[in-house]
Amino acid sequence: MSMKIYINCKSKAQLNRDLANGAEPMGYNYSMFGGGGWYNLHDCPAGTVIALYTRKIDGNPYATSWGTWNPTKNQI
């Protein structure tokens, strides 16, 4: 079963540029069923769903873009 993490970033293109420049983005898994907490994107398995957000509503991230982590290509 794959997990989903939320990363504060403007767009997939920006995140991919950051990754190409050596960034180590952190994302939060809000799961109530176990596995919740902070994760370094590079430690996540292939296929992890990435939800990108720039703002929160009522304390919850409001995702505006989604992607899937591909560690082989080092991109979303």
Q: Tens of pLDDT along 20-69?
A: 999 999 999 998 787 899 999 999 999 999 999 999 999 999 999 999 99
Task: Examine residue 23 and state whether it is found in any structural domain, yes or no.
Answer: yes
Task: Examine residue 63 and state whether it is found in any structural domain, yes or no.
Answer: yes
Global pTM reads 0.92
Closest listed residue to residue 42, CA positions, set 61, 19, 10, 66? 19
Task: Please state the domain count of the chain.
Answer: 1
Q: What angle do CA 58, 64, 69 make, to 5 degrees?
A: 115
Q: Which domain holds residue 61?
A: 4-68
**Is-contact 9 55, C-beta < 8 A?**
no
Task: Examine residue 73 and state whether it is found in any structural domain, yes or no.
Answer: no
Distance of CA 56 to CAs 28, 34, 47, 61, 64, Å?
13, 22, 25, 4, 11
